[in-house]
Each structure stands twice: as C-alpha cells, then as structure tokens.
Amino acid sequence: MIVLFVAVSNQAEAQDTSIFPKGEKAPADRFTGTVWIFPLIQPQDSLDCVSSSVTFEPGARTNWHMHPGGQALLVIEGKGYYQERGMRVRIIQKGDVVKCPPRVEHWHGASPDTKLTHIAIVTNAEKGNSVWLQKVTDKQYKDLE
C-alpha cells in the first residue's frame, strides 16, 4: 500500500502543470535543443501582434534573432536566459517581463537544468517577420555561468 501511495504521489508531482498545451516541436534551424511552440495569436487575427506559448527543455534556446517591431516575453514557468548582442546575459524566471526593442539582436532559452516557458509577443507585426541569425554555440552557452 505504501509503495502504491508513493508511486501515485510521484506521478501526480510529475504531471504537466502548464497553462497551455505544448504545441508542436520548433524548427531545428531556429532553435537548439527541444523547444515546443503553441500559437496563441496569429497575423490573421488582426491584432497587430503574434503570440505563442514557448516551452524550452533544459539547455534549449533560440538562435540569435531580431524582430522589426520588437518583442515582449512573459515568463510563466522555470528559469532561463535572455541576452542582447554585446550585453551581459540576464537571468529570467517566472514572473519576469522582458521588453526587447525593435531590431535588437538577442536570444533566449532555458537554463541548463531547468525548463523555461514564456509567452512570446511579437509587437507591431506589420513591420515584418522575425529575422533569424546564427546559433548560440554550445561554448557560448556554457560560458554564461
């Protein structure tokens, strides 16, 4: 009986507590590691923004990229990193809001040992699509801490 109780308790703790479904696996040419994207607001919704829930497994991250109209990240779970080109890395965690100005090269993703989920909002969508650049190398990523 005790073994059964412990097994059920551990299973309940391991259940996903995410607000949104994981969605689809993100394209490997724009991300390193396992990343899931669930679209929330699309261009055809006529709201001048695009929004998705993005979940990064530990160690996963975006490539360097920029948004012509800017981007906001609302961190809803976990711990990770955000870095603008030429700046120090910033640790981000649940409850943080990151405001990335238009046309600023940056990347973001999970810490090595914790997954990260954020709501990504690409603002002023009429200014153009995201511009994807080179990968954040494993060496660059490991040198952060």
- CATH number, domain at 93? 2.60.120.10
Model confidence pLDDT, tens digit, residues 56-92 = 999 999 999 999 999 999 999 999 999 999 999 999 9
Q: Identify whether 1 is part of a domain.
A: no
Q: Identify whether 6 is part of a domain.
A: no
Q: Identify whether 12 is part of a domain.
A: no
Q: Identify whether 8 is part of a domain.
A: no
| Tokens of residue 100, six digits | 């990335």
User: Which structural domain range is residue 47 located in?
Assistant: 18-142
Residue carrying the six token digits 């929004």: 51
Residue 112, amino acid: P
Q: Identify whether 5 is part of a domain.
A: no
Residue 45, phi then psi, degrees to nearest 5: -80, -5
Domain count, the chain: 1
What are the residue ranges of helices labelled H in 15-144?
A: 138-142
Model confidence pLDDT, tens digit, residues 11-31 = 444 556 678 999 999 999 999
pLDDT attached to residue 16: 64
